[in-house]
Structure 1
Amino acid sequence: MTTSAPILLGSPGEDISKKDLHKVMQRFINLNQVRLQRIQEFLLPRQRTFLNLLPLLFHQNHPLLPGFISSDTIAGIPNYTPSNSTILLAKSFSKHFTYKRRALREYPIQGIYLMGSVSSIAFTKNSDIDIWLCHDHGLLKEEINELQAKATAIEKWAESLDLEVHFFLVDSEEFIQGASSPLSSESSGQTQHYLLLEEFYRTALFIAGRTPLWWLVPPHEEQNYNYYVKHLKEKRFISDHEVIDFGSLEKIPAEEFISATLWHLYKSLSSPYKSLLKLLLMESYASEYPKPQWLCLEVKKAVYQGNFNLNDTDPYVLVYHKVEKYLSSDPDSERINFIRQCFYLKISGALEKQSSIQKHADRDAFIAEIVRRDQWPEAIISNCTKNQAWNIKKASSENDIIIRQLKLCYRMISRFSNSNAYSLQQQDIQLIGRKLKSFLQKSPEKVDIITTRSSIRNKENELSLIESQTTSTRPTWSLFPGEVAEQNPKEIAPFKQDAKSLVELLTWLVINGLYQQKLLLHIQAKLQSFNKVDIHNTLETLRQFLLEHKLGNQTALSAFKQPNRVIANLLLLNLGDIPTVSRKNGMLVISEQSDILSYGPDRENFVHTIDQVSVSSWGEVTTHRFLGLEGLFDCFIATLNQQALSIPIKIESYTPIRGKSIALGVTQLFQKLNQLFVNEKSTDSPRLIVAGESAFYIFQQKDDYLHYWKINNLEALLLELAKPQATFSPAHFNNSTVSSTPIPLLFSFAKENTIQVFYYANARYINLYIIDEKG
């Protein structure tokens, strides 16, 4: 606890003491030192080397120190002299390292500052460390590029110490003018400026160089920031080489709250517990617009008052208290209790298991004091302490709460946008809006991805998948923990229910990280028969398919610049359905030339069910089930009509009887359709004739869309092929379709703008065939 007399700096025209300005500066530096000391306590000894050596690396170029690029890389930090311990660290890299204390002609590195969670109680040795590396205005492009190269090299050195460090090169003059470069790993520079600046002032840790000028503007003059700074400079209370100015927080445009809220909504989809507190902070600030009560001012007020401690000015704690105060008037207790849970999980999870007993005791005491002071319900603590035992049911219920919170925030920011007459036209805002709608909107075929899947600590080793027949025409599937008695599954609540197919349920298992090779599955189906080996093969196929297309990772915002489209398909044939086939002499022989859709004298079709899994460019996963021969054709038509270019498709069948041959035959048919109607770009209008069971099907494009229609017999097929065509329409035949006739051979000779006559003579008569110029 720091207790000192309040400092009151006068307004322009009133008494301003240089001594008081120095005291203010020293108080901020002291607060920085205490925060830095806490960070060092969290780091491993070898990681502490990074922070201790950091300013020296940019003050002097030395070929044996980390990050060296060249002797000409800009270097030099004003008001910096390395300590003896820092020089000793440098000697551990180079025994002959010496530091010469001499004044430089220029100090192009204006300052180094850490920002973000690194200065808070939520920081851990696994947290990112964001660093603002501030440099002179007007540097040459080559100088900036070389400085960036050095920063990147130091990032790689930090990586070898198990630290994730991000440098952001900052020109303070350009920043004041609103430069849009991202300046934090947690923000989008294009969507945030003032909010990023507020976070910087609240969390910044001064490492070396010029001190922030914002420190010296008293809280009561914040709204007159620019005038006050001008006064300090004109009266020579400060000099430019001592301070660095990032600007004021006087006027923030409404669109920044809108864009920042959308950004944090986007981040919440992948890291809900980490991002929701920030999201609610944006909401609380927006509720105070146009005069938000900035948290960084709370820190400044405490410093000027001289009565503050590390925890009361902790950036993360300040956020929590502001959000809790904002939500305290909300009759919906779910929101405030959920934010308390987010805070608890973040703080309690900040300590690793190997941390000292004292560190755990201090952290527990800190949380206990907040719980007591704010009178948290006991259920919150109980729920949080059981976090390590969360299973999919708990994670799913938590996901439901998170989705409700995200929708509330989205509605709030939409109202705020309307009330401030702001149109969401800026590109990055549009992209985030598309991402949110894609994630939050429900559709019958879309597989839900739960936001809390990474929180599942207790994965089930045994699950039951049960099919139920409802009043609808199609059955539904439900997922239960353990082995459930077939006669009464209602005694146990399902993890998930109302899936329209088994594949939808299996896909949900895989995409939410519940599939593991040791998983034991019990399947109860009404009409189908499932082999456990085939199910595990299917799960492994799904895992590889989704992994290949990076599902489970956050989809890049750039993907939302283009309309949503399917980028890959997986077809699973006859899952749980074994085709009944006729055998000759007990044998079933299928070759690459065999027609699996019209096999043998009985014209049997071997494809009974088709389960399609699709991945889209927006990261959506959908499933659709097709039945029978025309279901397969409908699947092909839907797939080919929605793509301008050929997209990957994988077709698998684990049917015990010739499953690979069935998958191969379907794959070859799709490839023919794809080649004829997608890949080939010409003015022709080709036709593909496919035998299906005892009938025939013709595929042809009409009005830029692929269609198919059924022809009942060979005689009708010949009549159909004889119909006039608008353009040259060559006929192609799948595998052995009508191979017992000369028809496929004759059509192979068809030529545009050429009429051809063919005849076939036998002892009794002559068959005459004419193929005209349209095929």
Structure 2
Amino acid sequence: MLKTLLLEAYSWEYPNPRLLAKDIKQRLHDGEIVSFGLDPYCMMLERVTEYLTAIEDPTRLDLVRRCFYLKVCEKLSRERACVGWRREVLSQLVSEWGWDDARLTMLDNRANWKIDQVREAHNELLDAMMQSYRNLIRFARRNNLSVSASPQDIGVLTRKLYAAFEALPGKVTLVNPQISPDLSEPNLTFIHVPPGRANRSGWYLYNRAPNMDSIISHQPLEYNRYLNKLVAWAWFNGLLTSRTHLFIKGNGIVDLPKLQEMVADVSHHFPLRLPAPTPKALYSPCEIRHLAIIVNLEYDPTAAFRNKVVHFDFRKLDVFSFGEEQNCLIGSIDLLYRNSWNEVRTLHFNGEQAMIEALKTILGKMHQDAAPPDSVEVFCYSQHLRGLIRTRVQQLVSECIELRLSSTRQETGRFKALRVSGQTWGLFFERLNVSVQKLENAIEFYGAISHNKLHGLSVQVETNQVKLPSVVDGFASEGIIQFFFEETGDEKGFNIYILDESNRAEVYHHCEGSKEELVRDVSRFYSSSHDRFTYGSSFINFNLPQFYQIVKTDGRAQVIPFRTQPINTVPPANQDHDAPLLQQYFS
């Protein structure tokens, strides 16, 4: 925070910024050698204080003072036998700031802060950082400053910001774990509100036992329409531990044993802390790493079998079209996954087509050259036929993932038929995506297969004869815009292949001019749009386009991140031809 505000202060003084390094030299020449006068953090605080006071920003000034106090790690509310110069300086500053004992005690007790205080501090820091980000962006545009960082470095930075701060439906917001080391709660209560009540229907989470007097007088910690999101939020933020007592008022939808079973499954499947994503992972399309498919948590069709006689053929136990009425035994599916950028996402599907919709979503998040997930687990909470349902869903998902990530890239007509609730659906595994089509009869069935074999490339390109290079097909990823540059080899410029967020393609041949200028202009255009990132009153676009270069090594096309410097040599090809192509350049 302090360093970011120092950079903002420099921009405010532009074009004649007073650099701290020059200040140090000047003070040495002037003989200003005191115990703290040349301390770098004290000098940063002094300069930032001058800047924020001049622009009349007391909110961020108070925040940066608190950050400085916590950074020094001298707890002034506690007596010390030995008083060093740091404690003496901090005491002097606190006295000048007018802080009372209550504020010092609160800050010194940071190790015991719980989620309310941590989230308040997290939001304060985020708002301040976003304000600095906007001020620096406006400064750069106003002065027409060019970016000296490489597109690859910018891509990694924006990915870090995007993964950490972008607010999206279904994304689990993770608070900064460095603010407080322990957010665990002794009691957590999940309460379901059905439709038609005064409050929004859905699930509410409280950090107390279900005493109605205490519940009514407190705001919930978190709300979501679906239980999966609340459990994930509590687990990944450290509120939910093995010592937490769980309570639930589920209105017959979810009872306590089912909740406890789900919590145990999630906690065993997902490690709480992982290493930060590597630059290679951040610059590459995100890939699912750990996936949990949660079946029939909130809606279980098999619950209707209780105390009933159900007629079915043991030789045809199809959980997707079960019994004489061909009912689908999957009533709801919740997805919980962590990707290679360390984002945690949740999705919910219900109804007869929940299995089809969940499959299409999972497969759509896997580009063809992606590595298989490290783990895929199916958790089923049905009252009856639980093992059968779990096994069948696990088999189906594994088969579809294998088809999506198959190494036989030339097969454009890979196909999977699935019968759900008495209706046949076709999943067509095309080069850039997976499409789903309902097949009413034999004519549609064979017609759809023939069409997909003939038109496996489901994109619009420049002419019917032009096809995307296979290396571009394999690198396509939904949700981001990708630019691929390719040298023509005949000194007639270069080719550009552009894939939008839905993997629709545009092809431009024999382009002339500067690729570096194109990259800069495109990045500037997308960074100025305000329709992607929303946090309170802040609007920032972190999901910038990604730029790649197609190069050839020993006649083999490969994709590497675009660099502003010309690529004179290419590292030797990896001996393991089954390894991901980018491994050769980032390992």
Q: TM-score, normalised by structure 2?
A: 0.67
Q: Give the alignment partner of residue 573 of structure 1, picking from 257, 277, 295.
A: 295
Deviation at 1:592, TM superposition (A): 10
* 1:560 pairs with 2:282: yes
The secondary structure found in structure 2 opposite 1:408 is helix
Cross-structure match for 1:408: 131
Match of 1:667 in 2: 394
- Using the alignment, how far apart are the partners of 1:604 and 1:583 within structure 2? 16
Does 1:304 pair with 2:49? no
SS in 1 for 2:303: coil
1:614-633 superposed matches below 5 A: 614-633=337-356
Summarize the Cα distance change of 1:504–1:360 in structure 2 as closer, same or farther, 3 Å threshold.
farther
1:408-434 per-position Cα deviation (integer Å, ceiling 9, x unaligned): 111011112112312446231332133
Change in 2 beyond 3 A, CA 1:591/1:460: farther
- CA contact under 8 A between 1:700 and 1:707: conserved in structure 2? yes
- Contact preservation (8 Å) 1:610, 1:626: yes
Structure 1 gap ranges (5+)? 1-275, 730-775
Counterpart check, 1:278 vs 2:3: yes
- For 1:474 and 1:597, locate their aligned partners in 2 and report how far apart those are by CA, in whole Å: 32
1:724 Cα deviation from its structure 2 partner: 8.1
What number of residue pairs does the alignment pair up? Answer: 444
Return the letter of the residue paired with 1:696: T
Residues 407 and 490 of structure 1: CA distance in aligned 2, closer, same or farther (over 3 Å):
farther
**CA displacement, residues 212-262 of structure 1 (integer Å, 9 cap, x when unaligned):** xxxxxxxxxxxxxxxxxxxxxxxxxxxxxxxxxxxxxxxxxxxxxxxxxxx
In structure 2, relative to structure 1, the CA distance for the partners of 1:628 and 1:333 (3 Å cut) is: same
**What is the SS of the residue equivalent to 2:81?**
helix
SS in 2 for 1:436: helix
SS at match of 1:455: coil
Selected match of 2:49 from 302, 324, 328 = 324
Question: Are the aligned partners of 1:570 and 1:613 in contact in 2 as well (CA < 8 Å)?
Answer: yes
Are 1:385 and 2:113 an aligned pair?
A: no
Structure 2 CA distance for aligned equivalents of residues 467 and 390 of structure 1: 28
1:510 aligns with 2:235: yes
Q: Does 1:539 align with 2:263?
A: yes
Give yes or no for the alignment of 1:699 onto 2:424: no
Letter in 2 for 1:673: C
Q: Cα gap change, 1:527/1:537 in structure 2, threshold over 3 Å: closer, same or farther?
A: closer
Deviation per residue, 1:472-493 (Å, 9 max, x gap): 9983322211113458844112
RMSD: 3.6
The answer on whether the counterparts of 2:112 and 2:180 sit within 8 Å (CA) in structure 1 is: no
Alignment of 1:132-211 (within 5 A): none
> Does the CA-based 8 Å contact 1:582-1:588 persist in structure 2?
no
Q: What amino acid maps onto 1:308 in structure 2?
A: I
- SS of residue paired to 2:54: coil
State the distance in 1 between where 2:316 and 2:371 align: 24
Seen in structure 2, the aligned counterparts of structure 1 residues 289 and 587 have a Cα distance that, compared at 3 Å, is: same
1:224-623 aligned within 5 A: 276-348=1-73, 357-359=80-82, 364-376=87-99, 380-424=103-147, 426-427=150-151, 428-452=153-177, 454-457=179-182, 459-469=184-194, 475-485=201-211, 489-497=215-223, 499-532=224-257, 534-547=258-271, 553-578=275-300, 579-580=302-303, 582=305, 594-623=317-346
Compared CA separation, residues 490 and 588, structure 1 to 2 (3 A): farther
The AA in structure 2 aligned to 1:465 is F
Shift of 1:551: 5.5
Rounded to whole Å, the distance in 2 between the matches of 1:369 and 1:319 is 17
**Counterpart AA for 1:609:** S
Q: Check conservation: 2:9, 2:48, Cα contact below 8 A.
A: yes
Contact 2:415–2:449 (CA<8 Å) still a contact in 1?
A: no
Q: Deviations over 1:682-737 (max 9, x none)?
A: 446354333323333333357964333445xxxx64554465853697xxxxxxxx
1:468: Cα distance to partner?
A: 3.1
1:44-76 deviations in whole A, cap 9, x for unaligned?
A: xxxxxxxxxxxxxxxxxxxxxxxxxxxxxxxxx
Looking at secondary structure, tell me which structure has more helix per residue.
1
In the alignment, is the contact (CA less than 8 A) between 2:303 and 2:382 conserved in 1? Answer: no
SS at match of 1:599: coil
Q: Deviations over 1:583-609 (max 9, x none)?
A: 899899998973111223343422111
- Which structure has more relative contact order (CA 8 Å, sep 6+)? It is 2
2:504 alignment partner in structure 1: none
CA drift at 1:401: 0.5
Change (3 A) 1:724 1:515: closer
User: Unaligned 5+ residue runs, structure 2?
Assistant: 454-587
Tell me how far apart the structure 2 counterparts of residues 646 and 430 of structure 1 sit (CA, whole Å): 21
CA-CA distance at 1:442 after TM superposition:
1.5
Q: Give the greater-gyration-radius structure (CA).
A: 1
CA 1:676–1:495: 2 relative to 1, 3 Å: closer
Residue 688 (str. 1) matches residue 412 (str. 2): no
* Cα shift at 1:504: 0.8
Give 2:436's match in structure 1, choosing from 708, 713, 720: 708
Aligned equivalents of 1:419 and 1:536: distance in 2?
56
For the structure 1 residues 364 and 586, does the alpha-carbon distance in structure 2 shift closer, same or farther, using more than 3 Å as the test? farther
Q: Percent identity?
A: 21
Q: 2:82 & 2:293 partners in 1: Cα distance? A: 53
Question: What is the TM-score of this pair, normalised by structure 1?
Answer: 0.51
- 8 Å contact from structure 1 (residues 637, 707) kept in 2: yes
Separation (CA, whole Å) in 2 of partners of 1:700 and 1:343: 57
Please, which of 370, 382, 401 is the counterpart of residue 655 of structure 1?
382
**Separation of aligned partners in 1, 2:307 and 2:425:** 27
4+ long deviations beyond 6 Å: 470-474, 583-593
CA spacing shift, 1:320–1:705, aligned 2, 3 Å: closer
> C-alpha distance in 2, partners of 1:437/1:419?
24
Distance 1:677 1:415, change over 3 A: closer
Partner of 1:124: none
State how far apart, in whole Å, the 1-side matches of 2:207 and 2:14 are: 48
The amino acid of 2:260's aligned partner reads: H
SS in 2 for 1:479: strand
Q: Deviations over 1:497-531 (max 9, x none)?
A: 3x231111111112212221011111222451223
Contact 1:530 1:575 (C-alpha < 8 Å) held by counterparts: no
